[in-house]
Structure 1
Amino acid sequence: MPAPDGTPDAGLPGPAGSAVRRRAARWLTAGAVVWAAAMALHASVPNAGVNAGSLFQTLLPWTGLGVPLLLALAAVLRSRIAAVAVLAPAVVWVTLFGGALTDKRSGGGDLTVVSHNVDEGNTDPAGTARVLAAAGADVLALEELSDASAAVYSRELAAAYPHHAVIGGVGIWSRHPLADVKAVPIMPWTRAMRATVRAPEGPPVAVYAVHLASVRVSAAGFTTGRRNDAARELAAALRSETAPRVVVLGDFNGAYRDRALSPVTSRLRSAQGEAGAGLGFTWPAAFPVVRIDDVLVRGMTPRAAWTLPATGSDHLPVAARLSR
């Protein structure tokens, strides 16, 4: 006979067994509701001194894995109420990420851009340069350059990209002339730069190549202080940017939904979010689990966004085709 909460007796001995199952079903139902609430209200999950909220938002796409787990537990308990409750996190996940599962890429666009953290430890920069050149982009933004690798990229990309500038660990390569090249001070050492790309047809575009500070997950929590400071400095630079068309390319060491990056992301739109197909994870390249590399725009329309094949880096390159 079913228990009063709709949980059938699964064969555990006696009234004590039924009580255990009912209690477990109630906990599972509550857990499903709490999980759904945390997903829906992810911006309100507290950091609790260890940046738990930021980490939760970074891994937010993976919260959907809780749905089959909860559903399996509901099946084990044979609880209809718990099974229905699991619909709550399922609906929230689909609301948040269901659109990413559709292909939003379209034709058109007059500027193709690529961003790649090429990895300072990359043992094949020449091969990486060939992969990037094969993408046929108008503009490349490269991050985590060393002096030696920058020389290799300059040599290998010279034929396709006659205009380039490197400042510190970042560089921009372009088929079209560059103007107004300058460092953007987001950290004590140069990890960001800006240039104006002047294509022969169409208005100029302000292009930023950025590499925010790295983060770590350790016993001390999700350490993001330097990255967050760099994001605020980048946001300040973008506030003073007067160009109507802006593209920010780079390794943000955080997901677009991470609240700590909101000083930047509140002013820019993600090309992947608007014109991609899938979630577009970029790191680590061998088995990507997060998207920390992105193409962000203002005053431009994304037409398509995608990732490029793996190179010798631990990141995947990201690309987007834009309309000015």
Structure 2
Amino acid sequence: MLAALAVLTAALLAFHSVVPNTVGRFGSLLETFLPWLGMAVLLLLLLALLRRSASALVALVLPSAVWGLSFGGRLLPEDRGAHDLTAVQHNVSDVNTDPAGTAAALIETAPDLVALEELTPDALPAYEKALAPDYPHHAVEGTVGLWSRHPLSDVRRVDIRPAAIEEGWSRGMRSTARTPWGDIAVYVAHLPSVRLGWNGLGSGARDESAGLLGDALATERLDRVILLGDLNSTLDDRGLDPVTSRMDRTDSARQAFAFSWPASFPVSRIDQVLARSATVTNVRTLPATGSDHLPLAVDIRLERGSDGSPPPP
């Protein structure tokens, strides 16, 4: 039985995409916490040692190898290396009692772009005041905002509201950052939350919103695109396929886990930074703020020209 469970664990790790999502969205649920199947491997190893089962120990080589190939690279230290931009993504929480302190903590990393979600009318002035000296350019649409060292233009709302959510719900925006390397389209988005219940994962609204965001990305005319946001899932989750398919595929197996939620005991990275015509590197979380999310910081390397420099605008 232990050997059979080991093979089943390896199959789930390697072929998670075949787990059906039609009922209860169990496929998305599995993919949201996919790295944690490694704990099942450790448990099976302990049981195999206690039972002195040679067959189980041999069978455990398979899920161990699959997990190592899928996630082992995330355990290695990352070298920041050469990069052109640094960005910070943070769901600051609408019940954060220290917005000024949160803003000060984000500034310490000296990013070029800062994206915030769950901005409230009461807290917004505190963020604007704290970030203004270092980020003279900013834009806010609904509850999401972007602060930038570079000028912003063509700011507009991106409608990612699912049909079942009432009017006035606004969690998406797009702007153009005018950088030394040319214009970059920068999107900030906060997809609807998901709920886990007796009937599975309630991600219908999130998936619908992801589809709308994917449509907006598909019609973007600029080549260089950066998306920052609380997407309420991991990049392994097929529910985000409409979004991830429009961006450059990231070798997530080589990125750090950088679990960002919940801040008290992070088990999943649902805060994301994606790019097109660019590479997201050195993904890392920052120290906790007054939010239930940890801030996420990344470096971004633009596509290079033949001489090794960023391509001209």
TM-score by length of 2: 0.91
Distance 2:281 2:48 in 1: 42
Distance 1:48 1:31 in 2: 24
Q: CA deviation at 1:272?
A: 8.1
Number of positions where the alignment pairs a residue of Structure 1 with one of Structure 2:
296
Q: CA deviation at 1:112?
A: 1.2
Name which of structure 1's ranges 30-39 and 230-239 shifts more when overlaid on structure 2. 30-39
- Distance of aligned partners of 1:135 and 1:57 in 2 relative to their CA distance in 1, 3 Å threshold: same
Distance 1:60 1:228 in 2: 19
Q: CA deviation at 1:302?
A: 2.8
Residue of structure 1 in register with 2:152 after alignment: 178
Cα deviation code 1:124-176 (max 9, x no counterpart): 11100100111111111100111111111011111111111111000011111
Pick aligned residue for 2:265 from 258, 283, 287: 287
Task: For residue 204 of structure 1, give the secondary structure of its aligned residue in structure 2.
Answer: strand
Q: CA deviation at 1:105?
A: 3.0
Cα RMSD (Å): 1.5
Q: CA deviation at 1:191?
A: 0.5
Task: For residue 244 of structure 1, give the secondary structure of its aligned residue in structure 2.
Answer: coil
Task: For residue 73 of structure 1, give the secondary structure of its aligned residue in structure 2.
Answer: helix
Cα deviation code 1:156-215 (max 9, x no counterpart): 11111111111100001111110110000001521010111112x211111111100000
Residue of structure 2 in register with 1:110 after alignment: 84
Distance 1:128 1:72 in 2: 42
* 1:139 is the counterpart of 2:118: no
1:129-278 residue pairs with structure 2 within 5 A?
Answer: 129-187=103-161, 188=167, 189-199=169-179, 201-269=180-248, 273=252, 276=255, 278=256
Q: CA deviation at 1:98?
A: 1.1
Cα deviation code 1:267-311 (max 9, x no counterpart): 2247683774x3110000111000000110110133422111110
Q: CA deviation at 1:108?
A: 1.5
Distance 2:22 2:54 in 1: 35
Residue of structure 2 in register with 1:3 after alignment: none
Contact 1:275 1:305 (8 Å CA) reproduced = no
Q: CA deviation at 1:100?
A: 1.2
* 1:314 is the counterpart of 2:288: no
Query: Which amino acid in the other structure matches residue 279 of structure 1?
Result: F
Pick aligned residue for 2:282 from 291, 294, 304: 304
Query: Which amino acid in the other structure matches residue 89 of structure 2?
Result: S
Distance 2:251 2:172 in 1: 21
Distance 2:78 2:202 in 1: 34
Name which of structure 1's ranges 101-110 and 43-52 shifts more when overlaid on structure 2. 101-110
Task: For residue 94 of structure 2, give the secondary structure of its aligned residue in structure 1.
Answer: coil
Residue of structure 1 in register with 2:305 after alignment: none
What stretches of structure 1 move > 6 A for 4+ residues in a row? Answer: none
Distance 1:208 1:158 in 2: 20
Q: Whose helix proportion is higher, 1 or 2?
A: 1
Q: CA deviation at 1:38?
A: 1.2
Distance 1:98 1:164 in 2: 38
Query: Which amino acid in the other structure matches residue 118 of structure 2?
Result: E
* 1:119 is the counterpart of 2:119: no
Name which of structure 1's ranges 62-71 and 96-105 shifts more when overlaid on structure 2. 96-105
Distance 1:51 1:302 in 2: 29
Tell which structure's C-alpha radius of gyration is larger.
Answer: 1
Q: CA deviation at 1:102?
A: 1.8
Contact 1:275 1:302 (8 Å CA) reproduced = no
Could you tell me the percent identity over the aligned residues?
49
Q: Which runs of 5+ in 2 are unaligned?
A: 162-166, 303-313
Distance 2:200 2:233 in 1: 15
- Distance of aligned partners of 1:274 and 1:184 in 2 relative to their CA distance in 1, 3 Å threshold: farther
Residue of structure 2 in register with 1:89 after alignment: 63
Name which of structure 1's ranges 181-190 and 99-108 shifts more when overlaid on structure 2. 99-108
Q: Which runs of 5+ in 1 are unaligned?
A: 1-26
Distance 1:34 1:138 in 2: 45
Distance 1:274 1:242 in 2: 30
Distance 1:106 1:152 in 2: 31
